[in-house]
Structure 1
Amino acid sequence: MVKKGWTYLLIAIIAIGGIFLLEYNKPKQINWFPSYVSHHKIPYGTYVLNELMEDFFPSRLSQIHKPPFELLTRNDTVQGTYFFVNESITFEEAELNTLLDWTSKGNSVFIASSSFEGRLLDTLNLEQTSLYNESELKPHFYHQLVNPNLKSKTITFEKDYYTMVFDKIDTLNTVVLGEVYVHSDSTDVIEKHINMIKQPFGEGEIILSTFPKAFTNYFILKDENRNYTAGLLSYLGTEGPILMDNFHKSGKSFYTSPMYLFLNTKEFKWAYYLALIGALIYVIFEGKRKQRAIPVVKPLKNQTLAFTRTIANMYYENKEQQQITQHKIAYFLEYIRTRLHLPTQKLDTSFLRTLAVRSNNSLEDVEALFRLIEKLQSKSQITDMELQDLNKKIEAFKAHVDGKQ
């Protein structure tokens, strides 16, 4: 039976080990979360973009980790192009007013976001709408830059079923920089939609792009898409600082939890899991309630006999044989009443005969015992020998009752 139990345990350990081995060697699932964080190497991070920016604009690039409102209100000397890239960017009213006021003084703002807040669109007389691709099982959106000098080919993006475009623009003040379109199965007519514009604002300019994924790792590293991204970056200009925003991001720019190191590294993560499982196994097998030694509890001693002896010795030492004799006789009569069930009010010849029969004593011994009792009850002074004789006869009587003689 013991060998069978160990066999089952070994099979369980091998099975669990096999499961862990399969899980460890399983290909890591791709994280498609659109974080747009500069140090994220996931598909929709911007690690490659920031590496390229550091290489091509080493002296112009500044990484900004604070909100625009705080930067621009505390430093009046900031100039250049403020570059925002995120899936969605929303400015507070005070922050938007500060940013627009800064732009009107001769600076530039480049915002790549799939959607823009209403206050900014109203300021620039723009409207947005969604462009869906319903003609194919696998969506294809074709993006191209309008400026022929950029020599950028039309590129294809296949990860979204819809994209945001500008439905209405201020044609007098707006310059179209980029377009997007889809192929229709029902008609050969291709309708192009605007997804990137430039508009002057005061002495500066504002550039908006509804295709922020053009700046992600996945897009830049795929095929020849980097040429399209390079065309977009050319609108940052050739002079002046570039303020790279790292505040308005969907993902976390830094992690405060130390567990991120363990859970984000494959080896550390499995070491952490094994430690938890080991702790669980320890709790199951070693954490059981163990039977403690049961202490030997000695039963309480019957102190009645010791107490009786103590009282008797006290009477005996005080030479109170008379009282001892009276107590001895009273207890003996009580013994007859409770043990032999005989009344002791009348100690006549009939009583003595009946007592002799029930107690298994001879009539002579019973008569001798009661003659001694009668004698001692009438005396005022009792010697030690008489008390000992009474005790001896009573004990002998009880011994016959108990069948010991």
Structure 2
Amino acid sequence: MNKTFKIYALIFIIILVILALLEVNKKEVTDWRKNFDVNQKSPFGLFIFNGEAKHLFKNNLKKIEQSPFEFYNQHKKEKHNILVVESEIDTESWYRIMDEVSKGSDAMLIVSNIPKEISDSIGYYDSTVSFEEQNVLKLTDKKFQNDFIKLDKFPSGRGFTYIKPNVEVLGKTVEKNNPEQANFIKAKFGKGNFYVHSEPLFITNYYLLKPGNIKYVQDVFSYLDDKETLWFVEGKTSESQFFMRFILSKPALKYAWWVFLGGLLLFIFFNAKRKQRIVPVIEPLKNTSVDFVKSIGNLYLQEGDFHDMMAKKAQYFLNKVRMDLLIDTQHLDEEFSKKLQLKTGKPIEMIHEAIALIKKGQDPYASVMKEDLEKMNKLLDEILK
């Protein structure tokens, strides 16, 4: 295991430990954003309303994922209901809604703010009329006097500051320190009607889960006639097409993905440095002396000149004795034998036999056989070990 791999492994383990500690100590954080998203289960999402809407409208509800402008350019509808819940709608689409209402349709607008020119055409002005932390929504009709909703979390405080004479007030906001303010109105427009509610919080998850609040919601929508209702939810129900949406939607997979990216970045960072160029392999020079000696030896063997080879082997041996053992080789007598025996530790008989063969090799008139050469070569090599 090299040093670089150990560094990567250590960094990776440290990151995993940190993420584990963060996960263990993580506190659940509530998302209080007013997203009004039909897919969100956060307090101010519309997940519950989306699930109950079909029953509320007696299975006569159709969700439209186009803008009103695009939809009405492609479809011609008889009298119907229009539902808009806190959506960003372009001005041309508002005018198409007004055109449909003028022909006899009814529109329920549950919005905190729409373009001023549209609200002015309908017959009211809206603005923030209160900054109280709590208020109560109630309806003006006596048959609904026992149905109300208490807003105790982030009410918008929106209301209608000016209402034209032809506009009917259907609901109000009640506060302790402020006079009652209209928040739900009905405005006659051509052959149809606009129903505008300025506080969309009352249909969010947080308030629908509280006991008794569903009755207020049913009362509000009871003003619409029993006919087909088109709910324009452009940008709310369309699922994200991002290829990582599933991984990022699961906490465990999301953490794994970020750890993978972090490890990849660390790997790229540490490997971005320029590495040493590969050192080429240089073949060592061949020892041609050995090949030369082998060639000469083969030549002598082919010629069969064993006497000359013994003489040269004897000469080489005596030279080694003089240089390495510092023994005089001028006289190969008994004194020479004893000195050689003392310095090499070999048996005296072996030394005597070797000296006899050396002398035989030095004698130009001696008869030498191949066996003599082999025996002398073996003895001399053994003595010099």
TM interval, short-chain normalised = 0.5 to 0.7
Whether the 8 Å contact between 1:152 and 1:231 is mirrored in structure 2 is no
Code of the residue aligned with 1:178 in structure 2: it is G
Partner of 1:112: 110
Structure 1, residues 170-211: CA drift from partner, whole Å, max 9, x if none? 23x222111113222xxxxx5100011011222211100100
**Deviation by residue 1:235-278 (Cα, 9 ceiling, x = unmatched):** 233x110111112x5x6732121122222211210110121133
Partner of 1:236: 224
How far apart, CA to CA, are the structure 2 residues paired with 1:95 and 1:10?
58
Per-residue CA deviations over 1:121-169 (Å, capped at 9, x if unaligned) read 22133122212336xxxx1122112222235443321332651110111
Q: CA 1:264–1:227 in structure 2 vs 1: closer, same or farther (change >3 Å)?
A: same
Residue equivalent to 1:203: 191
In structure 1, the partner of 2:150 is: 156
Instruction: Describe the SS at the equivalent of 1:73.
Output: helix
1:311-350 superposed matches below 5 A? none
Alignment partner of 1:274 is 2:259? yes
State the 1:43 CA deviation.
Answer: 2.2
Contact 1:133 1:182 in 2 (8 A): no
CA contact (8 A) 2:155 2:201 kept: no
Q: Residues of 1 paired with 2:169 and 2:29: CA distance?
A: 39
Supply the AA of the counterpart residue of 1:133.
F
Specify whether residues 283 and 101 from structure 1 end up closer, same or farther in structure 2 by C-alpha distance, changes over 3 A only: closer
Q: SS at 2:193's partner residue?
A: strand
Distance 1:284 1:102, change over 3 A: closer
- The whole-number CA distance in structure 2 between the counterparts of 1:27 and 1:233 is 38
The separation in 1 between residues aligned to 2:119 and 2:32, in whole angstroms, is 29
Residue pair 1:35, 1:252 contacting (<8 A) in 2 also: no
Secondary structure at 1:39 match in 2: coil
Alignment pair present for 1:52 and 2:52: yes
Matched, 1:263 2:248: yes
1:175 to 168, 171, 189: 168
SS at match of 2:222: helix
Question: Structure 2 CA distance, aligned partners of 1:296 and 1:74?
Answer: 77
CA change 1:274–1:241 in 2 (3 A) is same
- Contact in 1 for aligned 2:184/2:196 (Cα 8 Å): yes
TM-score by length of 2: 0.64
Deviation string for 1:258-314 (max 9, x for gaps)? 12222221121011012113323433556654433333799xxxxxxxxxxxxxxxx
2: distance between equivalents of 1:285 and 1:28? 36
Q: Distance in 2 between matches of 1:141 and 1:90?
A: 28
Counterpart of 2:135 in structure 1 is 141
Give me the CA root mean square deviation: 3.1
In 2, the alpha carbon distance for the partners of 1:229 and 1:192 equals 20
Which residue does the alignment assign to 1:74? 74
CA distance in 2, matches of 1:100, 1:12: 62
Q: Could you tell me which amino acid in structure 1 is paired with residue 108 of structure 2?
A: F
Equivalent residue number for residue 166 of structure 1: 160
Q: Which amino acid aligns with 2:143?
A: N
1:60-99 residue pairs with structure 2 within 5 A? Answer: 60-86=60-86, 89-92=88-91, 94-99=92-97
> Alignment length, in residue pairs?
280
1: CA distance between counterparts of 2:233 and 2:8?
53
Point out where structure 1 has 5 or more consecutive residues left out of the alignment.
Answer: 185-189, 299-405
| 1:222 pairs with one of 203, 206, 210 | 210
CA distance in 1, matches of 2:35, 2:78: 27
Amino acid at match of 2:230: L
